[in-house]
């Protein structure tokens, strides 16, 4: 059993990839890989519902959660072919704008997308947990996405990330402790800065999230787009008015289309654009 540590230019990411035969040499983020796998998931595969239950139980030890208004619309859905299901949960808390989970289950794969967004009064990093299981692959990614540039804003890096490096898989526990201790921001300019940073992250994910292809295949383009914007990355249409091109102009071509090159998704640790200190050479490259 081998494990790979990986990261992204927008996050401090701890990724474990367990590969069964045949061994994989890179993290499987491309939806093209899903099409080639026809074997069914073993019946003994771990249920991601247990992770969600555990995460909710742990969270309620630290804060009170109430169902999000999104829960009424986004709760359960069948895939177009009737062979897969999508289960969704969403909650809010005193310091949590949105805690949501999406579990996809088909005959050939099982996916979990779990994310916690803080309210704009708190500059806590966004917590993500992404799991993927097929007949031959298990991938677990626990990810802390900073709201602000940890390369140039050293105070923010020192505040949250220096102590996280050796903690590895305790990210979820650490995140809950961070938000419990976080003081509510009262400076309107800083609140706006936090809000814009979270909107920037949401805008990036709506456009670049590698799971879009899977959703489109399962439930169609229209429903997939609605789920991305209104559930998975809720707030992209409400928290700000800037577009993807406003935040990331380097991806815009002269014809108005987006340049798909330069994305770090799918690159191995050794090929990502960071320096010897583990700092990315170009933010959101």
* Degrees to nearest 5, angle at CA 7 with 102 and 74: 10
Q: Is the peptide bond before 175 cis (omega within 30 degrees of 0)?
A: no
Q: Rg of the chain's alpha carbons, rounded to an integer?
A: 19
Q: Quick check: 169 pLDDT over 90?
A: no
Q: What is the pLDDT of residues 81-124, one digit of tens each?
A: 999 999 999 999 999 999 999 999 999 999 999 999 999 999 98
Asked if pLDDT for residue 242 goes beyond 90, the answer is yes
Res 260: pLDDT: 57
Work out the pLDDT band at 51, boundaries 50, 70, 90. confident
Side-chain-side CA neighbours of residue 96 (13 Å): 25
Give dist(CA 272, CA 250) in Å, integer. Answer: 18
How many angstroms separate the CA atoms of 254 and 137, rounded?
40
Does 174 or 29 have the greater pLDDT score?
Answer: 174
d(CA 135, CA 108): 7
How many residues would you count in the chain?
285
Backbone angles phi and psi of 30, in degrees to 5: -80, 135
| Predicted local distance difference test score (pLDDT) of residue 124 | 87
3-state secondary structure of 239: coil
Q: Which residue has the tokens 């590969």?
A: 19
**CATH value of 43-145 in 3.40.980.10, 3.40.1500.20, 1.10.10.10, 2.40.160.20:** 3.40.1500.20
pTM: 0.56
Q: Give start and end residues of each alpha helix (H) in 66-165.
A: 70-73, 154-160
For 98, the token pair is 């949105």
- Convert the pLDDT of each residue in 193-231 to its tens digit: 999 989 998 998 898 888 888 899 889 999 999 999 999
What is the average pLDDT score of the chain?
74
Q: Which residue has the higher pLDDT, 225 or 7?
A: 225
Q: Where are the domains of the chain?
A: 43-145, 150-184, 185-284
DSSP state of 285: -
Which residues, listed in sequence order, are joined to residue 89 by a DSSP beta bridge?
Answer: 101
**239 compared with 2, residue with greater pLDDT:** 239
Least confident of 9-13, 162-166, 194-198: 9-13
Q: Is the pLDDT of residue 258 over 70?
A: no
Choose among 103, 134, 111: nearest CA to 40.
Answer: 134
**∠ at Cα 86 (56, 4), nearest 5°?**
70
């Amino acid at each position: 059993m081998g494990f790979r540590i990986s990261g992204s230019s927008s996050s401090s990411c701890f990724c474990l990839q367990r590969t069964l035969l045949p061994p994989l040499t890179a993290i499987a983020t491309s939806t093209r890989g899903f099409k080639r796998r026809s074997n069914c998931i073993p019946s003994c595969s771990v249920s991601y519902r247990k992770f969600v239950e555990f995460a909710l139980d742990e969270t309620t030890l630290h804060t009170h959660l109430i169902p999000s208004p999104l829960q009424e619309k986004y709760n359960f859905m069948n895939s177009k072919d009737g062979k897969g299901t999508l289960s969704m949960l969403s909650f809010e808390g005193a310091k949590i704008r949105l805690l949501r989970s999406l579990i996809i289950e088909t005959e050939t794969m099982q996916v979990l997308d779990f994310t916690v967004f803080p309210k704009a009064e708190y500059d806590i990093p966004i917590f993500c947990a992404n799991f993927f299981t097929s007949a031959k692959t298990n991938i677990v990614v626990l990810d802390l996405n900073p709201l602000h540039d940890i390369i140039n804003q050293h105070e923010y890096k020192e505040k949250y990330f220096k102590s996280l490096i050796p903690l590895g898989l305790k990210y979820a526990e650490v995140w809950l402790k961070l938000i419990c201790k976080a003081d509510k921001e009262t400076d309107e300019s800083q609140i706006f800065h936090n809000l814009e940073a979270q909107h920037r992250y949401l805008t990036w994910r709506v456009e670049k999230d590698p799971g879009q292809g899977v959703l489109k295949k399962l439930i169609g383009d229209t429903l997939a787009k609605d789920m991305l914007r209104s559930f998975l990355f809720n707030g992209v249409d409400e928290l700000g008015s800037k577009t993807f091109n406003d935040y990331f102009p380097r991806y815009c071509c002269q014809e108005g289309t987006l340049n798909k090159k330069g994305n770090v998704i799918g690159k191995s640790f050794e090929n990502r654009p960071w320096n010897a200190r583990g700092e990315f050479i170009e933010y959101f490259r």
